[in-house]
């Protein structure tokens, strides 16, 4: 087993920046080196400090971008729960009933992650189990429910608008994850 203090001191001496954050019970290190060779040489040390460490490029700002991207991912789930609670309140559904169903959604997150990991890096959005058109119909129902309740609907409206952009641009038969490509080319 590596001595964490010695490893940390060794990494601090490198021409790089790193930060710690807690993800559940796991201490993670994100390490953008100014030199890919340095990363390759010290990767075993860095991985001992935080097993999910990764090289993110040679620009120090990449670390901030990665943090922002991961923060957005986590907080979108939190905001989904907040908006869900608002709709349940408007409908008179006990919040305990809503909260008790959230673990089912959390289990689905692994499936969503696996789909995202399989499609986005490869850029292959074909052969969906559920097409963007299917998601558009589901989000239409969701947005309609929020509006009929008079509940705040900014998040479902955003989801609606983005999915319909995908469908309207001819991507209705693609994976929902294809929005990454579509939205990236529109900016």
Instruction: Give the tokens for residue 62.
Output: 């990449």
Cα gap 103→46, rounded to integer Å: 33
User: Tens digits of per-residue pLDDT, 64-88?
Assistant: 888 899 899 999 999 999 999 999 9
User: Tens digits of per-residue pLDDT, 15-28?
Assistant: 444 444 444 444 44
pLDDT over 90, % of the chain: 61
The residue ranking higher by pLDDT, 88 or 9, is 88
Cα gap 4→112, rounded to integer Å: 34
Positive or negative torsion for Cα 124, 127, 129, 131? positive
Cα Rg, the chain, nearest whole Å: 21
Cα gap 142→149, rounded to integer Å: 11
Contact 31, 39 (CB under 8 A): yes
CATH architecture of 76-186: Orthogonal Bundle (1.10)
């Amino acid at each position: 087993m590596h001595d964490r203090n010695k490893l940390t001191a060794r990494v601090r001496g490198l021409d790089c920046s790193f930060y710690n954050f807690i993800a559940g019970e796991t201490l993670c290190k994100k390490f953008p080196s100014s030199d890919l060779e340095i990363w390759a040489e010290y990767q075993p040390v860095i991985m001992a400090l935080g097993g999910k460490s990764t090289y993110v490029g040679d620009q120090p700002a990449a670390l901030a971008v990665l943090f922002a991207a991961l923060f957005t991912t986590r907080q979108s789930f939190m905001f989904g729960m907040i908006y869900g609670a608002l709709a349940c309140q408007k409908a008179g559904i006990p919040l305990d009933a809503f909260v008790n169903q959230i673990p089912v959604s959390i289990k689905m997150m692994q499936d969503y992650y696996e789909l995202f990991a399989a499609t986005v890096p490869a850029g292959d959005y074909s052969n969906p189990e559920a097409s963007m058109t299917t998601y558009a119909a589901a989000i239409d129902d969701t947005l309609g429910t929020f509006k009929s309740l008079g509940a705040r609907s900014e998040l479902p409206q955003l989801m609606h608008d983005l999915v319909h952009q995908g469908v309207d641009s001819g991507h209705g038969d693609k994976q929902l994850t294809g929005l990454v490509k579509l939205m990236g080319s529109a900016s």
